[in-house]
Amino acid sequence: MSGTAQGTDTHYLPGMSLHDYEQHMKEYHQHVAELLDPARMAALDGARWLEGRNEFDTDDNGGRGDSYRRAQRADGARRQGIARLFTELAGPDPAALSRVLDVLGGDGLLTRVWRGMSGARNSGPVPLITGDVSAGMVRSALDRGLPAVRQQAHSLLHRDGVLDGVLLAYGTHHLEVGHRQAAVREAYRCLGPGGRVALHDFDERSAVARWFREAVASYSRAGHAYPHFTAAEMRGYLESAGFADVEAGRMYDPVVIDGDSEEEALAGLADYMTDMYGLALITEAAETRADAREMVLGLLSDIFRYTDADLPYDAPGAVRELTVHRAGARFRAELPRVALLATGTKN
């Protein structure tokens, strides 16, 4: 990959110019650097979007990036849904996946979960590459030794046809409605023949969407003004982009936190959801941490309720409301969530 001009001062990541980034990738992640398009990289020099503010900026800059990264330390909390995503992305030939882009990858959570599931080493070529528009998130992923690239979902930096899989998941609603079709088309462009895409988010009428409207919009400084999806919308994006064998449906995607007691598991879940969604206004208004946890748990219990008909047919053991149950010698707090998932294949 050819770099930008020596000495460029384009601010690409915190403490890292575009030139610095390219040199870093060549040294530590050459296999990923070779997938990036030199012309697209060069066009970043001076790009105005690089200086834009983002919801996942640091907490003291009006974002919720610090608290979000803190939540991701519990990297098993969403493991069940993440595992399902990988299964659906792989399709009939899991061995064909050797270069996968997680477009909305944040600080690399899915990469870390995938490595834990597969036993992959932390060096050498790996299937999953973390992408994100947030400078802080991408820098955090790089600092963990993960291959990562800062880019816009609707204008990827990869060459044509070099990827085997593309994930658009966990935060797809953050994409502007006018950019969503372009993001799926970019996934199509970057995939080779037989490549697979997985598009994941939550239904506009779901409990998760209600959580964002009533809890996140009210108690996070970053607010939440992003419309979610419908299954028909997802299917339409994939089919319009040219994907074949398009399927769209529901998947069970719970948040799970373990503890040594029922109380510890519930407290851990409350803390996770508070950090994950930056509910700083609840924490600040509460007299004690216990009061803040009680308020969050009350919101979760009220909002996340499902009927049997709401739950996917292929989710045996799924719970209909916030539940604590035994998990071996420990206790497990399980918050049910139902997500939408659409997949397709590039011919």
What pLDDT does 120 receive?
A: 58
55-59, 260-264, 318-322: which range is least confident on average?
55-59
CA dihedral 98, 244, 169, 215 (to 10 degrees): -170
Please check the confidence at residue 216 and state whether its pLDDT lies above 90. Answer: yes
- What count of Cα atoms within 13 Å lies in the side-chain half-sphere of residue 91? 20
60-64, 114-118, 165-169, 220-224: which range is least confident on average?
60-64
Please check the confidence at residue 4 and state whether its pLDDT lies above 50. Answer: no
What pLDDT does 284 receive?
A: 95
**Cβ-contact 222, 59 below 8 angstroms:** no
Comparison of pLDDT for 63 and 211, the residue scoring more? 211
Residues 85-92 have a mean pLDDT of 87
**CA–CA gap between residue 17 and residue 11 (Å, rounded):** 5
What pLDDT does 5 receive?
A: 41
For the stretch 27-75, pLDDT in tens is 999 999 999 999 999 999 889 999 877 666 665 555 666 777 787 777 7
| Domain residue ranges of the chain, discontinuous segments joined by + | 11-217+224-250+340-345, 255-339
Q: Identify the residue whose tokens are 């919009």.
A: 217
**CA–CA gap between residue 310 and residue 316 (Å, rounded):** 13
3-state DSSP assignment of residue 323: strand
Average pLDDT, the chain: 90
What pLDDT does 93 receive?
A: 73
117-131, 236-250, 295-309: which range is least confident on average?
117-131
Q: Identify the residue whose tokens are 């990959």.
A: 1
Please check the confidence at residue 7 and state whether its pLDDT lies above 50. Answer: no
Residues 83-95 have a mean pLDDT of 84
What pLDDT does 81 receive?
A: 95
CATH class belonging to 11-217+224-250+340-345: alpha beta
Please check the confidence at residue 80 and state whether its pLDDT lies above 80. Answer: yes
Burial class of residue 336 in the structure, from the number of CB atoms within 10 Å of its CB (0-12 exposed, 13-18 middle, 19+ buried): buried
What pLDDT does 222 receive?
A: 80
Among candidate residues 68, 55, 58, 56, the one with its CA nearest the CA of residue 273: 68
Residues 181-194 have a mean pLDDT of 97
6-20, 149-163, 210-224: which range is least confident on average?
6-20
Please check the confidence at residue 96 and state whether its pLDDT lies above 80. Answer: no
What pLDDT does 117 receive?
A: 76
What pLDDT does 123 receive?
A: 43
| CA distance between the termini of the chain | 27
**Cβ-contact 110, 128 below 8 angstroms:** yes
What pLDDT does 119 receive?
A: 63
What pLDDT does 179 receive?
A: 97
Residues 254-258 have a mean pLDDT of 97
58-67, 102-111, 184-193, 290-299: which range is least confident on average?
58-67
Helix 177-190 × helix 231-241 angle, to 10°? 40
Considering the chain, what percentage of its residues have pLDDT values greater than 70?
91
Q: Quick one: which H or E segment has residue 132? A: strand 128-132
What pLDDT does 1 receive?
A: 46
**Cβ-contact 217, 225 below 8 angstroms:** yes
Q: Report how far apart, in Å, the C-alpha atoms of 52 and of each of 11, 12, 13, 30, 173 are.
A: 11, 11, 12, 28, 19
What pLDDT does 46 receive?
A: 86
Among candidate residues 195, 126, 207, the one with its CA nearest the CA of residue 167: 195
